[in-house]
Amino acid sequence: MAWVEKYRPKNLIEFVGQEKVKRYVESVINNGGEINHLIFYGYSGTGKTTMARIIANELGVELIEFNASDDRTLNFVREKIIPAMRYRSFTGKYKIIFLDETDSMTKEALFCLRRPMELYEKNAKIIFSCNDDSNIIDAIRSRCISFHFKPIPRDLIVQRLKLIAQREGVNVTDDILGEIAEKSRGDLRKAINLLEAYHRGALEFTGSEFERMFGRLV
């Protein structure tokens, strides 16, 4: 199993960064409430998909994911997404529908979700996820709480890499971990992939060899 999946956080304690959304989720859990419709926007590798899965896991609700390979046209919304919103899950609880790559959806498709988000709010909550939220129309934005997923700070990336390196028995220096954190540019997923690539390729790469190795991956 790839390390990025093996070490994907399963709960809020393991999750790195994004304190605002973590506080929001903790508040929902502590008060026994339901989440709002949400918008997660920001850089890749900062935890948007992982947070959606954690929310569903922590609240004990069904999660339905639609990823970037799915059709994002008006017909897809009418035939797939809206029918999924009409009914609660088999447990009787509401479900969460996670729409990744929302910035690739047409404005007509997004507009078609406006009314169902109100009609079926007790049955389904939508989490819109995108790198750039400028394509999300105001009619959707006004029905959601938005959270900006910022680049993960370098020190938090290094901490996570150290933990993985210890568990995997990787012989790596703090300098190398720092280099990986720098080259990941706030993308924790990329940093973990870089660490695994470093481990699989050669443990002692330094200097120009290090640059050549990681230059292909950044």
Same domain for 145 and 161, yes or no, is no
Residue that terminates a domain, selected from 106, 129, 149: 149
* pLDDT score recorded for residue 58: 93
Measured over the CA atoms of residue 40, residue 130, residue 161 and residue 181, the dihedral's sign is negative
Positive or negative torsion for Cα 95, 101, 102, 107: negative
Is the pLDDT at 177 greater than 70? The verdict is yes
What share of the chain in percent tops pLDDT 70? 90
Q: Binning pLDDT at 50, 70 and 90, where does residue 216 land?
A: low
Pair (124, 181) in one structural domain? no
- Residue 140 in domain: yes
160 and 134 within one domain: no
Residue 4 domain flag: no
Q: Are residues 53 and 141 in the same domain?
A: yes
Give how many domains the chain has, as a whole number.
2
Highest mean pLDDT, choosing among 54-68, 98-112, 151-165: 151-165
Q: Which residue, 117, 149, 181, sits at the end of a domain?
A: 149
Note the pLDDT tens digit of each residue in 30-72. 988 899 999 999 999 999 999 999 999 999 999 999 875 567 7
**198 located within any domain:** yes
Q: What is the predicted pLDDT for the residue at 146?
A: 98
Same domain, 165 and 113: no
Residue 47: the pLDDT is: 96
Q: Is the pTM of this model over 0.85?
A: yes
Do residues 69 and 173 both lie within one domain? no
50's CB contacts (< 8 A; 6+ apart) are 8, 9, 15
Residue for token pair 């390196």: 165
Helix, strand, coil content of the chain in percent (nearest 5): 50, 10, 35
Domain boundary among 123, 149, 175: 149
Establish if 137 belongs to a structural domain: yes
Question: Does residue 38 sit in the same domain as residue 73?
Answer: yes
Q: Do 58 and 11 form a contact (C-beta atoms < 8 A)?
A: yes
Whether 160 and 87 share a structural domain: no
Average pLDDT, the chain: 89
> Does residue 5 lie in a domain region?
no
**Average pLDDT in the 163-177 region?**
92
User: What percentage of the chain carries pLDDT values higher than 90?
Assistant: 72
Domain of 176, in residue numbers: 154-215
Alpha carbons 157 and 181: distance in angstroms, whole number: 6
pLDDT band, very low/low/confident/very high, at 167 (cuts 50, 70, 90): very high
Q: What is the distance, to the nearest Å, from the Cα of residue 106 to the centroid of all Cα atoms in its chain?
A: 21
- One domain for residues 29 and 53: yes
Residue 165 and residue 134 share a domain: no
CATH of the domain at 175: 1.10.8
Distance (Å, whole) CA 35 – CA 154:
30
What CATH number should be reported for the domain holding residue 74?
A: 3.40.50.300
Q: What number is the average pLDDT over the span 109-135?
A: 95
Dist CA 122 CA 117 (whole Å): 9
φ and ψ at residue 47, rounded to 5 degrees: 110, 15
Query: What is the pLDDT confidence band of residue 95, given thresholds at 50, 70 and 90?
Result: very high
**pLDDT-derived band of residue 213, with 50, 70 and 90 as boundaries?**
low
Of 21-30, 46-55, 65-74, 82-91, the range with the lowest mean pLDDT is 65-74
Answer positive or negative: Cα dihedral of 170, 175, 195, 19. positive
- Specify if 67 maps to a domain: yes
Residue 6 lies in a domain: no
Tell me the two tokens of residue 17: 């960064």
Same domain for 143 and 39, yes or no, is yes
What would the mean pLDDT of 110-134 be, rounded to a whole number? 95
Dihedral, 210, 5, 7, 40 alpha carbons, nearest 10: 100
Summarised one tens digit per residue, pLDDT across range 194-208 is: 999 888 774 445 555
Q: Report the distance separating Cα 141 and Cα 129, nearest Å.
A: 12
- Residue 87 and residue 34 in one domain: yes
For residues 125 and 93, the answer to whether their CB atoms sit within 8 Å is no
Residue 2 lies in a domain: no
Residue 130 phi, psi dihedral angles, 5° rounding = -160, 160
